[in-house]
């Protein structure tokens, strides 16, 4: 029996999952890409988290073979981007950075949490949503980078308290965040 082997690997900078010939990212990274959370590294053109200006290899000056996608990369369905800013770049220099995030579900429920790896965390939510409540979507509404886990926990509890005591301020924060991103040319 002839068994076809996938010779391509995922185009995400540090992912080595084998993928079919007609794809350019593994299933997990494809979803994150559809959500606008990963884009191309301007140096090596592989995919990287949008929070970073370049992929980690390029950042450290590791030599990388230039990446040729096996297929033409289609336009993304969603173009919402949480792009990098000076604050994001600062966060990038710290290996112990944490993301404090706020997600909104279709029914308006807000989720607050913190994580070291935003893409991975969002992909977890998506997987959970699929098994417990198909069709449920999570929209990233606010992200902040902090340096330590203690700071992340503190910020998280502040936000939780705000949701209960001052939801208007949460809404204002979300729209500030969006307009800030629009000013940077993303939106
Ligand atoms: Zn991958
Ligand atoms: Zn790169």
pLDDT tens for the 187 residues of the chain, in order = 455 566 789 999 988 899 998 899 998 888 888 777 788 888 899 998 876 778 888 877 888 887 888 888 887 765 444 444 555 544 444 556 788 999 888 888 888 999 988 878 888 887 777 666 666 777 888 888 777 788 889 889 989 988 888 888 888 888 888 877 676 655 5
**Measured in Å, how far apart are the chain's first and last C-alpha atoms?**
50
Whose atoms come closest to the Cα of 33: which ligand? 1
pLDDT for 80 equals 46
Which ligand gives the minimal distance to the CA of 119? 1
Q: pLDDT at position 113, please?
A: 92
Torsional sign, CA 155, 160, 162, 167: positive
Q: What pLDDT score was predicted for residue 42?
A: 87
- Centroid of ligand 1 to alpha carbon of 28 (angstroms): 6
**30 Cα: distance to centroid of ligand 1 (angstroms):** 7
Q: What pLDDT is recorded for position 84?
A: 46
User: For position 46, what pLDDT does the model report?
Assistant: 93
Predicted pLDDT of residue 185: 58
Element (H, E) at 105: strand 98-105
Spell out which residues have Cβ within 5 A of ligand 2, the ion: 41, 43-44, 55, 58
Yes or no: is domain 86-183 CATH 3.30.70?
no
Domain boundaries, the chain: 1-78, 86-183
> Residue 30: nearest ligand to its CA?
1
- Nearest 5 degrees, angle CA 87-CA 170-CA 134? 95
């Amino acid at each position: 029996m002839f068994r076809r082997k996938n010779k391509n690997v995922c185009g995400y900078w540090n992912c080595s999952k084998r993928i079919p010939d007609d794809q350019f990212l593994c299933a997990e990274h494809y979803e994150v890409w559809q959500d606008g959370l990963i884009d191309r590294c301007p140096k090596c053109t592989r995919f990287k988290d949008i929070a970073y200006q370049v992929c980690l290899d390029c950042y450290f000056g590791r030599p990388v073979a230039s990446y040729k996608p096996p297929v033409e990369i289609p336009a993304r369905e969603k173009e919402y981007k949480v792009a990098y800013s000076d604050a994001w770049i600062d966060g990038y220099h710290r290996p112990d950075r944490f993301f404090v995030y706020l997600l909104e579900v279709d029914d308006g429920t807000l989720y607050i949490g913190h994580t070291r790896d935003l893409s991975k965390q969002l992909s977890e939510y998506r997987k959970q949503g699929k098994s417990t409540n198909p069709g449920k979507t999570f929209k990233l509404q606010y992200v902040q980078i902090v340096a330590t886990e203690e700071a992340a926990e503190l910020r998280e509890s502040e936000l939780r308290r705000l949701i209960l005591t001052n939801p208007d301020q949460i809404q204002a924060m979300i729209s500030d965040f969006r307009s800030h991103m629009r000013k940077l040319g993303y939106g």
